[in-house]
Amino acid sequence: MEPNFNYPLSVLIPIADELSEVEIPLVGTVSAGYPSEAFNYVEEPIDFNKLLVKQKESTFCLKCGGESMIGDGIRQGDLLVVDKLAEPRENSIIVLSLNGDFTLKRLRRGKGCVELVSSNPEQPIITILEGEELHYWGVLKFAIKRF
């Protein structure tokens, strides 16, 4: 079944109730530079449910609604897999709400403050000021894109 990429941008996308095992063969590595012999062996198969979802209860998806993370290869319309129990670390890409508005940014700790950094040079750094309403939603684990 093909994934539904037609969710509106402002909706949390639930993980399926049942995650059945589906293994896809991993047949090697393909060069993105000089051509090389790539498909000469079969590695262990990949189960995308196991790869993308560590804990079903803490995993959700969102659709990316902007271009602030294009330097990280994340573009509008990409499907984002987020783990809300993952511990955010310095430089993690996180989903959070700031004063009621949701955003996807890198976490950076400045001198006595927290900064939210986009990877688009046209976007300013957001410095979290005392008294602002900040809610952590999770750490980005995967971005899935359609070509």
CATH, domain range 23-144: 2.10.109.10
Give the residue among 114, 109, 105, 108 at the shortest CA–CA distance from 68: 105
Best-predicted range by mean pLDDT (10-14, 34-38, 43-47)? 43-47
Whether 56 is catalytic is: no
Burial class from Cβ neighbours inside 10 Å (0-12, 13-18, 19+) for residue 8 reads exposed
Whether 68 is catalytic is: yes
3-state secondary structure of 56: helix
Residue 53 has pLDDT above 70, yes or no: yes
Give the span between the Cα atoms of 134 and 146, in whole angstroms. 31
Handedness of CA 83, 89, 95, 98 (dihedral sign): positive
Q: For 85-106, write each residue's pLDDT tens digit.
A: 999 999 999 999 888 888 999 9
Q: Which residue has the higher pLDDT, 3 or 31?
A: 31
Structural contact between residues 76 and 66, judged by C-beta atoms closer than 8 angstroms: yes
* pTM listed for this prediction: 0.76
Catalytic residue among 36, 68, 84, 111: 68
Catalytic residue among 63, 97, 105, 118: 105
